[in-house]
Structure 1
Amino acid sequence: MLPVLASDDVLDRPKETIKMTSAIADFYKDKNVFVTGATGFLGKVLVEKLLRSCPEVKGIYLLIRPRGPQTVQERLNKMVECKLFDKVRHEQPTFHCKLHAIPGEMCEPDLGISQSDQGMLVSKIHILFHAAATVNFNAPLKASMQLNVVGTRYVIALCHDLKHLQAFVHVSTAYANCDRSYIEEVIYPSPVQPLKLIDTLEWMDNTMVTKLTPDLIGKRPNTYTFTKACTEYLLTQEAADLPLSIVRPSIIGGSWREPLVVGTGLLRFMRGKNSAYADIVPVDMTANLIIAAAWDTAVSRAETIPVYNVTSGGVNPLKWGEFSAMLGTYFNKHPLDKLFRTPNITFINNSFMYQFWQIVSHKGPAFLYDIWLSMIGQKPKVWKMYEKVERALSKFEYFTSHHWEWSHDNTDALMAKMGTEDKKIFNFDYRGLHWPTYMENYVLGMKKYVLKEDMDHLPMTKARLNRLRNIPRCFNTILIVVVWRVLIARTKIARNIWHLVVSLCFKFLQYLRISSKRGH
């Protein structure tokens, strides 16, 4: 688990202080919470934050899907063993007694929950956080609709049965309406009627759906954003009478794997605009806002469904060019143990230049490296690695090449309702976020907690990094010579210049050799 920039500067205060002065923590006292998507990146942080900052929460029930031979309880046990839960483990040694695994499946009727578990949830749950969704941007439309839309419909049905429901928070995405350049905190009309589309997809085969998908998603880049927009509209149709709020985070910091391939030096170039905003939001701040939104939903009971745009670009902008520069700086300052090349990343918007540098800096070195592996008797693997990375990165080109603006009125209003202590404990004010500190912590977190590297190896890793810096210099020199010789040196004047340079270099080397002998 990646640690993020610490936004709660009161975590070391006595728990009695939190209990006495935090209205939000007091709201969660003796409450039972149900969470979908709890084993995901955001879900884990949300659960840990609830346990740590709302220490008197009664119980947290987690919908978990069995995976292979692992039971849901085994998956839960493995989840809480990670370093993310170290602090709450120290403060509350018996915290695991509050966590309850509920076997289920988002795509099944009634969420695949047994009748006995349903009965228990109906009588106990006060707050429901729905964070489960497919994050496969290019998932087939049927699969994406089933998990994101139909799955949410099953969650809505459960909410209608809950006897003590006080708040239902649905986690959407800031890019659900990315076909617009300015996105307000409102639910926009759906591109299609979700219920009609669900019925239609039931009788259509996969070939028909594939052909229909581009027309359905329109200006949206993928099925993920399309189905998240459909889900928001579905909530207005079937959940308007519930105590509901919608939280729309943009790019949750730490959820992308690209920094890892940047840190190893595997990735050097990406499609994108240096001037476009990298709308990143730290995961801890996102969890804070979700927790606060449930509190406000229960206390205020707004007449319309409140929507919160959780974005940083409008209040504390970070451009992709600045993002790549910081990432390169801190990966060079704290290099990873398993380096392929020197860490560096550049965003290129021009298609021709991007293809050129793909050949020169990605595919060319990969091809040569695989030849070397074959010569020493090892299996070639780098070319396939690059192909895999490029396929993954193609999903994000749309988001690194475009720019959006979001309104934040509801988010600002929520913050204004919070007391002084709650603003510290559940901070989500991106205006105070210092990006260089965040990025350095991000790199250190990846090194320590994701890759579990020993920081004592840093001097040795830095020495290796210095040696690796000589490789691109040699490669670039050879490339310039080859380009000049093959593409440029075709005229007589160019050939004469070429021979003059070569002869001067040869004479210079001879001079060095003679001088060396005289010195001896």
Structure 2
Amino acid sequence: MEKIMETEVQKFYRNKNVLLTGCTGFIGKVVLEKLLRVTEVNCVYLIVRPKLYDKLHETKKDFMQKLKLIKGDCIQPQLGVNKEDRKFLIENVNIILHCAATTHMNNPLKSALPINFGATVSLLKMAKEMLMLQSFVHVSSAFANCLTQHIEERFYTEDLGINTSQISEDDIFNEQFVNNLDKDFCKKYPNSYTFTKAMAEDAVLKCENLPVCICRPAIVSSTCKDPIIGWTDNHQGPFGILFSVATGLLRIMYINHDVNAVLVPVDYCANHILVCAWRTSNLNTNLTPLIYNFATDEHNPISWKNASNLVALHGSKIPISKTIWYPFLILCKSKIYYKVARPIVNILPYLLVKLFLAITRNKTRIINISVVEKPVKKVEYFVTHNWIFTMHNTKRLWNSLSTEDQELFNFDMLSLDWSEYIRTNLWGMRRIVAKEEPDTIPKSIERVKRYS
């Protein structure tokens, strides 16, 4: 166990009761791990579905001293929390870290609205009754306001076009209302995710006199350092694409290679959230909630082209043994060219491999091409458009930290070494996704050479 130092941020969390939503999600897991490892919180309350509650209670008994599981479901009215547990939370919670969300970009609005917007509204209402509440962090998205090219750390109610305070809980679960909302407002957004995240931000703005702030992380990728170098559990985002390229299944993407790759390590994101909670506790609740954009630093950017070159550079030294074709990736800036080239570059080789395996009666199973291309379609909008993110609040927050807190809760995107970060991403992919140890590298290199 790491030695607990008494930094300013650690003092803030000492003996506090924290309500964490989204604890089973990608960001939530890292936030929870960091809280338990480097702070002396009194207790962390986790809202989890009943089935998950039973499994965790059986398998994680050693963590229960500082954890209390609350049966609930963020897609249900009032978070699915019963009256007794709600009363308990109201009387005991000091800090709320709201990480729960669905990140499935193409979910129908009726699926995205209850958790991304409804859960936020329910949590804000509960927070209003919490007399001991010191800080509330709402985790949004850097792309919640993607209709604007230059995204500042402010609210964009003019883009949303609706007043969310007029939406009732019944409306959220009313099919006719949701259909009208989809038709009249959601359609101008690229997907239901960005629209419902924008709605949730408006709900935060409308909720007055709360110690609340908004964190807006960009595309969250694997860890840089904590708790494990290159760790991820998210195979649907950038990591899933990286794995598909490494295996030779994905060879072409519709992507503007000149656009900035706004990737942020998940451990940096978790640290940013935890520090935002500390800072928010010291602010005037009568002021407009502060927003903290969290994306790549303008003085340390990386384009998708440069990121791809680094993947090729490091990937050639640590390939995986599960390749079915020589790994390469064509970044296609033209949508027309992509549509013409995709059947030849992606589909045809896949079918040839499938035919070869069938003829040779090889029992090796390969992922369906539609599954491979699913995460590509999910991020297509975000890798073909360019945004400028203002991060004045985030930079001021970083500069306000002591040297000890900066080391313990690092989220400095200016000093991130992109080459090293991408190399550790590849190591994480080998170890976590492909489940391959370092001693398999020489054999993997020989295998890739046979394809070249």
Mapped to 2, the partners of 1:197 and 1:264 lie a distance apart of: 47
Whether 1:389 aligns to 2:372 is yes
Partner of 2:337: 353
Q: Secondary structure at the match of 1:443?
A: helix
Q: 1:144 aligns with which of 112, 135, 138?
A: 112
* Partner AA of 1:179 in structure 2: L
Q: 2:53 aligns with which of 31, 55, 72?
A: 72
Whether 1:30 aligns to 2:1 is no
Q: After superposition, where does 1:126-165 map in structure 2 within 5 Å? A: 126-165=94-133
* Partner AA of 2:429 in structure 1: M
Q: Secondary structure at the match of 1:336?
A: coil
Whether 1:261 aligns to 2:235 is no
Q: 1:192 aligns with which of 162, 166, 183?
A: 162
Post-superposition offset of 1:179: 0.4
* Partner AA of 1:448 in structure 2: R
Mapped to 2, the partners of 1:73 and 1:158 lie a distance apart of: 25
Partner of 1:304: 288
Kindly indicate whether the alpha-carbon contact (under 8 Å) linking 2:78 and 2:119 is maintained by their aligned counterparts in 1: no
Q: 2:200 aligns with which of 231, 237, 246?
A: 231
Once the two structures are superposed, what CA deviation does each residue of 1:41-97 show, in whole Å capped at 9, x if it has no partner?
11011011111221x111111111134xxx41424776x79xxxxxxxxxxxx6542
* Partner AA of 1:171 in structure 2: V
Mapped to 1, the partners of 2:401 and 2:435 lie a distance apart of: 38
Moved more, 23-32 or 364-373: 364-373
Whether 1:314 aligns to 2:298 is yes
Bigger helix share: 1
> Aligned in 2, Cα 1:219/1:109: closer, same or farther, shift over 3 Å?
closer
Kindly indicate whether the alpha-carbon contact (under 8 Å) linking 1:374 and 1:380 is maintained by their aligned counterparts in 2: no
Q: 1:285 aligns with which of 248, 252, 268?
A: 268
Post-superposition offset of 1:398: 0.9
Partner of 1:331: 315
Sequence identity (%): 33
Kindly indicate whether the alpha-carbon contact (under 8 Å) linking 1:331 and 1:343 is maintained by their aligned counterparts in 2: no
Q: Secondary structure at the match of 2:320?
A: coil
Once the two structures are superposed, what CA deviation does each residue of 1:244-300 show, in whole Å capped at 9, x if it has no partner?
000000001134221111221211111111110000111111111111110011123
Once the two structures are superposed, what CA deviation does each residue of 1:488-512 show, in whole Å capped at 9, x if it has no partner?
xxxxxxxxxxxxxxxxxxxxxxxxx
Partner of 2:354: 370
Kindly indicate whether the alpha-carbon contact (under 8 Å) linking 2:249 and 2:350 is maintained by their aligned counterparts in 1: no
Mapped to 1, the partners of 2:338 and 2:14 lie a distance apart of: 54
Mapped to 1, the partners of 2:317 and 2:290 lie a distance apart of: 43
Unmatched tracts of structure 2, length 5 or more: 223-233
Partner of 1:183: 151
Kindly indicate whether the alpha-carbon contact (under 8 Å) linking 1:177 and 1:229 is maintained by their aligned counterparts in 2: yes
Q: Secondary structure at the match of 1:431?
A: coil
Mapped to 1, the partners of 2:448 and 2:375 lie a distance apart of: 26
Q: After superposition, where does 1:99-118 map in structure 2 within 5 Å? A: 99-118=67-86
Mapped to 2, the partners of 1:77 and 1:347 lie a distance apart of: 47
> Aligned in 2, Cα 1:277/1:76: closer, same or farther, shift over 3 Å?
farther
Partner of 2:424: 441
Mapped to 2, the partners of 1:137 and 1:394 lie a distance apart of: 9
Post-superposition offset of 1:412: 1.5
Post-superposition offset of 1:113: 1.6
Post-superposition offset of 1:330: 2.2
Kindly indicate whether the alpha-carbon contact (under 8 Å) linking 1:246 and 1:305 is maintained by their aligned counterparts in 2: yes
Mapped to 2, the partners of 1:328 and 1:373 lie a distance apart of: 27
Post-superposition offset of 1:415: 1.6
Kindly indicate whether the alpha-carbon contact (under 8 Å) linking 1:332 and 1:343 is maintained by their aligned counterparts in 2: no
Post-superposition offset of 1:215: 4.4
> Aligned in 2, Cα 1:200/1:128: closer, same or farther, shift over 3 Å?
closer
Mapped to 1, the partners of 2:126 and 2:55 lie a distance apart of: 25
Whether 1:454 aligns to 2:437 is yes
Q: Secondary structure at the match of 1:299?
A: coil
Q: Secondary structure at the match of 1:168?
A: strand
Q: After superposition, where does 1:45-124 map in structure 2 within 5 Å? A: 45-54=30-39, 56-67=40-51, 71-75=52-56, 96-124=64-92
Partner of 1:494: none
> Aligned in 2, Cα 1:201/1:49: closer, same or farther, shift over 3 Å?
closer
Once the two structures are superposed, what CA deviation does each residue of 1:358-409 show, in whole Å capped at 9, x if it has no partner?
1222111122222223323468976x71122223311211110010001111
Partner of 1:272: 255
Q: 2:135 aligns with which of 163, 167, 180?
A: 167
Post-superposition offset of 1:197: 5.6
Post-superposition offset of 1:313: 4.7
Mapped to 2, the partners of 1:441 and 1:380 lie a distance apart of: 28
Kindly indicate whether the alpha-carbon contact (under 8 Å) linking 2:114 and 2:173 is maintained by their aligned counterparts in 1: no
Count of equivalent residues: 433
Post-superposition offset of 1:34: 0.8
Mapped to 1, the partners of 2:36 and 2:449 lie a distance apart of: 44
Q: Secondary structure at the match of 1:423?
A: helix
Mapped to 1, the partners of 2:438 and 2:166 lie a distance apart of: 56
Whether 1:248 aligns to 2:216 is yes
Partner of 2:225: none
* Partner AA of 1:72 in structure 2: Y
* Partner AA of 1:325 in structure 2: N
Q: Say which one has the larger Rg.
A: 1
> Aligned in 2, Cα 1:77/1:278: closer, same or farther, shift over 3 Å?
farther
Mapped to 2, the partners of 1:106 and 1:53 lie a distance apart of: 27
Partner of 2:190: 221
> Aligned in 2, Cα 1:352/1:252: closer, same or farther, shift over 3 Å?
same
Unmatched tracts of structure 1, length 5 or more: 1-10, 82-93, 470-520
Post-superposition offset of 1:117: 2.2
Kindly indicate whether the alpha-carbon contact (under 8 Å) linking 1:139 and 1:223 is maintained by their aligned counterparts in 2: yes
Kindly indicate whether the alpha-carbon contact (under 8 Å) linking 1:285 and 1:426 is maintained by their aligned counterparts in 2: yes
Post-superposition offset of 1:320: 0.5
Normalising by structure 1, what TM-score?
0.78
Kindly indicate whether the alpha-carbon contact (under 8 Å) linking 2:211 and 2:283 is maintained by their aligned counterparts in 1: no
Partner of 1:426: 409
Mapped to 2, the partners of 1:453 and 1:33 lie a distance apart of: 37
Kindly indicate whether the alpha-carbon contact (under 8 Å) linking 2:263 and 2:295 is maintained by their aligned counterparts in 1: yes
> Aligned in 2, Cα 1:379/1:457: closer, same or farther, shift over 3 Å?
closer
Provide the aligned C-alpha RMSD in A.
Answer: 2.4
